Amino acid sequence: MIDILKIFQAVVPYLKVILVLAVAFFVIGIIKRLIRRFLSTTALPLDAQNILRRAVVYVLWFAVLIYITHELELEEIFMPLIGASVLVGAAIALAVKDALGDAVAGIFLLLDRHFNIGDEIETMKYRGEIIDVTLRKTRIKTGDGTIVVLPNGKIDSSGWVLHEKKTETGGD
């Protein structure tokens, strides 16, 4: 009788982990769909929506992983690995900090709506019509037809001047 009890006690954590994984797949799938629906109603570009959705999903799976390591008493093995992964993540973030800065600035430029496609702006010694704004870059067509691609982080930090649109006058 004692052997069966010991076996049951040894199996229970694994059954809990299997149950948690099954529930996590289901719940995280629902959360992903809800986030997709919510973000589709915002003015964020698709690449920003994907980044936000993935960030939420990664955080949820990380929480599931922490629970599993705790339940299976694997902290001694996984905690140093998680610590090392944080260091690797920090190193990668430092390596791509300009791209991340441009992406964050792009999100703010797109959300704030200070200027739109077709507006004429002057920034960083360039003056022209905005023809495209993405998460990382803004494209401006200057008066001589040159297309200038500027990083959003530089535009945000250096500022810009929004010029009134030229109106077409008829007949003269």
Q: The domain containing residue 127 runs over which residues? A: 116-163
Residue 172 in any domain: the answer is: no
Number of H helices, E strands in the chain: 5, 5
CB atoms within 10 A of CB 28: 16
For the stretch 89-117, pLDDT in tens is 888 878 778 877 887 887 777 777 777 88
The stretch 54-74 carries a mean pLDDT of: 88
CA 55, 56, 57, 59 dihedral sign is positive
The stretch 30-45 carries a mean pLDDT of: 86
Whether 127 and 120 have beta carbons less than 8 Å apart is answered as yes
Residue finishing a domain among 95, 126, 145: 95
**Whether residue 48 is found in the same domain as residue 17:** yes
CB atoms within 10 A of CB 60: 15
The letter for the amino acid at 53 is R
**Whether residue 68 is found in the same domain as residue 139:** no
Among 133, 68, 140, 142, smallest CA distance to 103 is for 133
How does residue 2 score in pLDDT terms, banded at 50, 70 and 90?
Answer: low
pTM, to two decimals: 0.55
Q: Is the pLDDT of residue 167 over 70?
A: no
